[in-house]
Chains A and B, each alone.
Chain A
């Protein structure tokens, strides 16, 4: 069974600085997708960035980028120029492709709480 591990329960960053959140996963699949979701105090789950395992290029969305290391099964999230609005819980998630009857369930890590200091 696939598992997702976020080893940092809490992180802190100074405003305008850069922070990296770690995520590792365990799978025997070669084709899959990885996601980072943000959950601010409003509790809304917001998709931040996605990565397809067959793409070697790391995904980037504005100030958010990932470091995807497929052999190491690592998927870290880098937030550049951190802003007060980035303070939230961040969840790493894994999904299999939906073929062969699989419905491509999202498997979540337990989350990292990010604080941003002014």
Chain B
């Protein structure tokens, strides 16, 4: 089954404790992206990648890191999480080319206390 897999689905952590949210896609998509969803704000892009070793900032990159060492994986790293990073996070991927929509993972609910 073609899908984007995120882990974990739920995570509660403490301020300052480094964490990684994994994302993997099995569709050989070139583009991958991380979004966060907050009430009343919709979804906002954190980072994106156009292919292996090619990443760039989205609209809200502060406090996050990413890497794209393999085409299928695009982990999101929070080096020192803070309570304002409590949110619902989505990883998404799509093929390069005209008109393709993003396929989303199931989301990761992160709470930082």
Contact = CB atoms under 8 A, between A and B. Distances in A.
Q: Do chains A and B stick together as partners?
A: yes
Contacts of A111: 42
A13 B50 CA distance: 40
Contacts of B42: 91, 108-111
B90 A45 contact: yes
Given A98-B96, A103-B56, A47 B40 contact: no
Interface in A70-99: 91, 97-98
Interface string B73-111: 000000000000000101010001011011110110000
A44 B101 contact: no
B104 to A, nearest CB: 4
Contact of A97 (B35, B59, B98): B98
Chief secondary structure at chain B's binding surface: strand
Chief secondary structure at chain A's binding surface: loop
Contacts, number: 54
Contact of A105 (B40, B48, B96, B99): B48
B101 A50 contact: yes
A77 to B, nearest CB: 14
Contact of A47 (B41, B50, B88, B103): B103
B45 interface: yes
B58 interface: yes
Contacts of A108: 42-44
A24 to B, nearest CB: 14
A103 B50 contact: yes
Interface in A7-47: 33, 35, 37, 42-47
Given A45-B92, A110-B41, 11 more contacts: A33-B98, A33-B99, A47-B102, A91-B42, A91-B43, A98-B31, A103-B31, A103-B56, A106-B33, A106-B43, A108-B44
